[in-house]
Amino acid sequence: MSFIADYGFVLLVLACVFGFFMAWGVGANDVANAMGTSVGSRALTIKQAIVVAMVFEFCGAYLAGGQVTETIKSGIVDASMISPDLMVLGMMSALLAAGTWLLVASMKGWPVSTTHSIVGAVIGFAAVGISVDAVHWSGVGPIVASWVVSPVLSGTIAFGVFMSVQRLIIDTEDPFHNAKRFVPLYMFLTGFMVALMTLSKGLKHIGLDLSGGQSFLLAIGVGVLVMLLGIALLTRIKVDVEADKAFHFSSVEKVFAVLMIFTACSMAFAHGSNDVANAVGPLAAVVGVLQSEGGAAISAKSAVPGWVLLLGAVGIVIGLATYGYKVIATIGKQITELTPSRGFAAELATATTVVGASAIGLPVSTTHTLVGAVLGVGIARGIGALNLGVVGKIFMSWLVTLPVGAGLAIVFFLILRGIFT
């Protein structure tokens, strides 16, 4: 216990630095979930996407991300077996390990799961620093299963949505007229799904503790509002005869481009509110232990202080602005060629899968879900539309995320323990 009393301030500063580093990694790697399809389909330029994401990710992370964070992520570790000093060193090593892996993955342009990175890191420090028995190994199974379940599920939904767009709009005699007719319905669905995703996982933490029924009704209201706003914007879009000569569906895709801007803003807000916890959860645990009397009390849950949330939100925005373009390029341009209608199908499928999974308590990664959805859209056009080399690299990066996170956490934990004890 003595080293917490001796090095309390140093540990707090280091924990903040490591937490910021992890938040930077979330911004650099994970924000592509919200922006990759919009950039790839040319609905937004890379600069516009970064500005939109900076605003909405920050708002989501700061306003709606203050959830009571489980310090031991996803029930992976038995908190009762961890002493306060091991908690501090372990969570710091987990943040540093996950941040390091996200840095490597972002440099390579690999979209990996920030959630799995931090879970792997926590498993690593717990298994070595405490005991193998401290890890709830039964909790690891659903995470591994989600590597398969979430991409397959979202890919199937994206395939279905894209085929409905083909049938209702693209393969008709008057695609532009039908686009204006049916896109408002897709807008309603998008607004409804993303609102439901945000309400079910985000806003109860700022005092809006809504029941399932209230969230559902409010999400319908948001869907209707998005649809009405979309209809107003769509009236301004006219057929571009010259553009249609070069690409037959150019005017139709302009209608979907309006929709993509909605989905980009919504997904960025929802992502910020959900995934900031990966960076600030372990940091909140460290702060909670250091601020408790002599570090004696460990609660299984720690409320996230406002300044910790702000640190996470700023970290995400800086990560996105400085390095986010690489993973955005991978998701948006290198897996398959995206147009606004295809990108929209992927976004809607992602939101639907995340909502459905959280409703039944299945742990899914937004990254895996979106990549699966983009694959589903590509498969709808034929297997030749996919860049299988890029897909193979992405799958390999997913497989190694958990063990690499664990291995790095073990190394950093041993180093930190050697320094402070």
Q: Which pLDDT score, from 0 to 100, does residue 240 have? A: 72
Three-state helix/strand/coil letters over 208-235 = CCCCHHHHHHHHHHHHHHHHHHHHHHHC
Would you state the structure tokens that stand for residue 267, as one six-digit string?
């997904």
What type of residue is 245? K
Amino acid at 204: K
pLDDT band at 21 (very low <50, low <70, confident <90, very high): very high
The answer, yes or no, to whether residue 34 has pLDDT greater than 50, is yes
pLDDT at 99: 92
Cα separations (Å) of 338 from 14, 347, 372, 377? 42, 12, 14, 9
Q: Above 90 in pLDDT, residue 418? A: no
Least confident of 56-65, 152-161, 387-396: 56-65
Crossing angle (nearest 10°) for helices 175-201 and 212-234? 150
Mapping DSSP to helix (H, G, I), strand (E, B) and coil, where does residue 237 land?
Answer: coil
Lowest model confidence (mean pLDDT) among 237-241, 320-324, 343-347, 395-399: 237-241
199-257 residue pLDDT tens: 765 555 555 666 777 778 888 998 899 888 888 887 877 777 766 666 667 777 887 88
- Hey, what long-range contacts does 244-249 have (CB within 8 A, 24 or more apart)? 249/170, 249/175, 249/339, 249/341
195-222 burial string, b = 16+ CB within 10 Å, else e? bbbbbbbbbbbeeeeeeeeebbebbeeb
Question: What is the C-alpha to C-alpha distance for residues 126 and 119, in angstroms, rounded to an integer?
Answer: 11
Predicted pLDDT at 209: 65
96: closest CA among 409, 417, 384, 383?
409
337 in Cβ contact with 45 (< 8 Å):
no
Average pLDDT in the chain: 79
Residue 66: pLDDT over 60: no
Q: What is the spatial distance between Cα 275 and Cα 272, in angstroms, rounded to a whole number?
A: 6
Rg of the chain, C-alpha, whole Å = 22
Measure the CA–CA gap between 112 and 89, rounded to whole angstroms: 25
In one-letter notation, the amino acid at residue 127 is A
pLDDT score of 171 = 81
The pLDDT of residue 79 is 67
pLDDT for 102 equals 92
Mean pLDDT computed over 179-195 = 83
pLDDT at res. 304: 63
CA–chain centroid gap for 377, Å, is: 20
CA atoms of 53 and 48, how far apart (whole Å): 8
Residues 6+ apart with CB under 8 A from 321: 27, 50, 54
* Mean of pLDDT values over 339-356: 81
In this structure, what are the phi and psi dihedrals at residue 150, rounded to the nearest 5 degrees?
Answer: -65, -45
Read off the pLDDT of each residue in 263-274 and give the average, rounded to a whole number: 75
Q: How confident is the model at residue 72 (pLDDT cuts 50, 70, 90)?
A: very low
**Which has the minimum average pLDDT: 11-20, 61-70, 210-219, 402-411?**
61-70
Burial label, 170 (beta-carbon count in 10 A; 0-12, 13-18, 19+): middle
Percentage of the chain beyond pLDDT 70 is 85
Average pLDDT over residues 155-163: 90
Tokens of 43: 């609905």
